[in-house]
């Protein structure tokens, strides 16, 4: 009986570990697949609502002043509710509610899981069993059966909802394990008292909702109006950054740089790669990203002989060379450039986790949330710059935005390479140089996911 109970606990915690790792992207992919299957405006609205909820939640999640372990339980609960709503109904109102709940879960489950994991690894000899491949294989089989049986992803949504519920006991267990940590740590109260920031946020994420919709559907909006709202959103983003500059000032450029790079690789290049590699382009970008992300820390530590300063120096060289290679219109330099950039991201990610968690200037319960909050600023900046450039290029060439997002051939390669990719990479280089000038310290000896 004891072994059976322990196996159940291991499976619950392992499921939590799995959901934390895939929770940010899998819900979006499934809702996107559902919309592509149905081409229904209902699911397009649900997709946009999910995307906005996921982007906005990371900024305001700490306002309830709960523990990270409690937020983790909340993320699991809302994830279960969101996925089960999608399994149970196609009613627009319920789908919007499900999207908002699931979006919050997708944005916060990994940062809070990582925070709790860091609490435990820094205070006790805690190890977590990994069941990635077992759960992933089971989920892949269910998705395959779902598609073959034409259940319209109902089975997959149901299974995901059940997995969130299965992970709840693991979340409660981790909450109990961290009780001693919280008793010894001072409580930090967070708040957002400025009404003007709430107003600006509503306007800003309204703009992001419009831009997200334009990526998916043809909507007749004048070019000048789109460029105007992009300009307004950029001004709001700059105001928000200035208002938050007192938090982690030595690491701000580094976090912005990280967010911009990830968005440039995964968002922009998942579309632009079509003009190099056709329909296989998006999959090639994802494969390169995963390879670089997983190998970066190990590779640069080996090259630097486990000296943190040397490893960081090598990673920065990799980043700069990678960005320069993206300026060359050849598929070989393109793929190598993406790999070198993602190797840098793969090295910088665990380094930032450990460094920010150990800072005295912020409480450890908020360190990882701050990391993803400011990285999200960088990602949103990349989106706005990309859309501004794309809108201008499309207007001059007399093309639709969907000629980039849903191309039928590669005939516009030169237009998008020199009018879109080049300027975006130059902006990325400028931010990376700003990161170098900020001189944020890098001292880490252990890897954390």
Q: What are 82-96's pLDDT values in tens digits?
A: 999 999 999 999 999
At residue 151, the pLDDT reads: 67
| 448 domain residue, yes or no | no
At residue 169, the pLDDT reads: 92
Indicate whether this model's pTM tops 0.85. yes
Exposure b/e, 193-202, CB count within 10 A at least 16 = b: eeeebeebbe
Distance (Å, whole) CA 75 – CA 61: 10
**Domain final position from 154, 179, 204:** 179
Whether residues 324 and 252 share a domain: the answer is yes
Distance (Å, whole) CA 149 – CA 170: 32
User: Does pLDDT of 145 surpass 80?
Assistant: no
Summary mean pLDDT of the chain: 86
pLDDT digits (tens, 9 = 90+) for 211-263: 988 888 888 888 899 999 999 999 999 988 888 877 777 888 999 999 999 99
Exposure b/e, 350-377, CB count within 10 A at least 16 = b: bbbbbbbbeeeebebbbbbbbbbbbbbb
Whether residues 200 and 173 share a domain: the answer is no
| 316 domain residue, yes or no | yes
- CATH at residue 359: 1.20.1250
> Which DSSP state fits 408?
S
Which secondary structure element, helix H or strand E, spans residue 59, and what is its range?
Answer: helix 41-60
118: buried, middle or exposed (CB in 10 Å: 19+, 13-18, 0-12)? buried
Distance (Å, whole) CA 391 – CA 393: 6
Q: Given pLDDT bands bounded at 50, 70 and 90, which one contains residue 202?
A: confident
Note whether 112 and 71 are within 8 A (CB).
yes
| 443 domain residue, yes or no | no
At residue 397, the pLDDT reads: 93
Q: What is the mean pLDDT of residues 328-350?
A: 96
Distance (Å, whole) CA 207 – CA 205: 5
Q: Which are the contacts of 441, defined by CB distance < 8 A and separation ≥ 6?
A: 250, 355
pLDDT digits (tens, 9 = 90+) for 401-439: 999 998 988 999 999 999 999 999 999 999 999 888 766
Q: Given pLDDT bands bounded at 50, 70 and 90, which one contains residue 154?
A: confident
Q: Which two tokens stand for residue 133?
A: 């491949």
pLDDT digits (tens, 9 = 90+) for 347-379: 999 988 888 887 877 778 888 888 998 999 999
Whether residues 374 and 419 share a domain: the answer is yes
Q: 73 is in which domain, residue-wise?
A: 2-179
Whether residues 124 and 217 share a domain: the answer is no
């Amino acid at each position: 009986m004891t072994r059976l109970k322990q196996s159940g606990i291991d499976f619950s915690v392992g499921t939590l570990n799995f959901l934390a790792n895939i929770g940010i992207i899998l819900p979006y992919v499934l809702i996107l697949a559902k919309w592509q299957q149905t081409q229904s405006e209902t699911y397009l609205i649900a997709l946009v609502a999910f995307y906005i909820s996921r982007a906005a939640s990371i900024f305001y999640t700490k306002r309830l002043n709960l523990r990270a372990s409690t937020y983790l339980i909340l993320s699991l609960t809302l994830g279960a509710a969101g996925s089960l709503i999608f399994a149970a109904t196609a009613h627009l109102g319920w789908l919007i509610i499900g999207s908002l709940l699931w979006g919050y879960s997708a944005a916060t489950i990994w940062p809070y899981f990582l925070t709790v994991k860091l609490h435990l690894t820094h205070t006790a000899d805690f190890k977590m069993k990994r069941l990635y491949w077992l759960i992933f294989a089971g989920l892949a089989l269910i998705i395959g059966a779902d598609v073959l049986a034409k259940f319209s992803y109902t089975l997959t949504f149901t299974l995901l909802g059940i997995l969130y519920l299965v992970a709840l006991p693991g979340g409660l267990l981790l909450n109990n394990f961290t009780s001693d940590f919280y008793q010894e740590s001072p409580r930090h109260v967070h708040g957002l008292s400025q009404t003007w920031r709430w107003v600006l946020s509503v306007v800003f994420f309204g703009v992001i909702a419009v831009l997200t919709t334009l990526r998916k559907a043809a909507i007749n909006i004048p070019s000048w109006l789109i460029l105007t709202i992009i300009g307004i959103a950029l001004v709001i983003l700059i105001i928000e950054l200035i208002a938050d500059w007192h938090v982690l000032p030595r690491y701000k450029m580094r976090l912005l740089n990280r967010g911009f790079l990830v968005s440039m690789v995964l968002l922009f290049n998942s579309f632009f790669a079509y003009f190099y590699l056709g329909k296989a382009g998006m999959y090639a970008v994802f494969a390169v990203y995963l390879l670089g992300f997983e190998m970066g820390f190990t590779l640069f530590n080996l090259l630097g002989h486990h000296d943190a300063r040397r490893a960081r120096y090598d990673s920065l060289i990799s980043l700069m060379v990678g960005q320069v290679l993206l300026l060359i219109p050849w598929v070989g330099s393109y793929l190598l450039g993406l790999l070198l950039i993602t190797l840098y991201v793969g090295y910088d990610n665990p380094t930032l986790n450990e460094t920010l968690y150990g800072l005295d200037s912020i409480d450890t319960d908020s360190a990882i949330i701050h990391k993803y909050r400011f990285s999200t600023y960088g990602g949103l900046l990349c989106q706005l710059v990309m859309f501004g450039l794309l809108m201008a290029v499309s207007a001059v060439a007399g093309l639709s935005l969907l000629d980039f997002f849903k191309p039928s051939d590669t005939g516009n390669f030169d237009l998008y390479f020199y009018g879109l990719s080049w300027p975006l990479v130059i902006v990325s280089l400028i931010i990376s140089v700003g990161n170098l000038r900020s001189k944020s310290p890098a001292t880490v000896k252990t890897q954390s996911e």
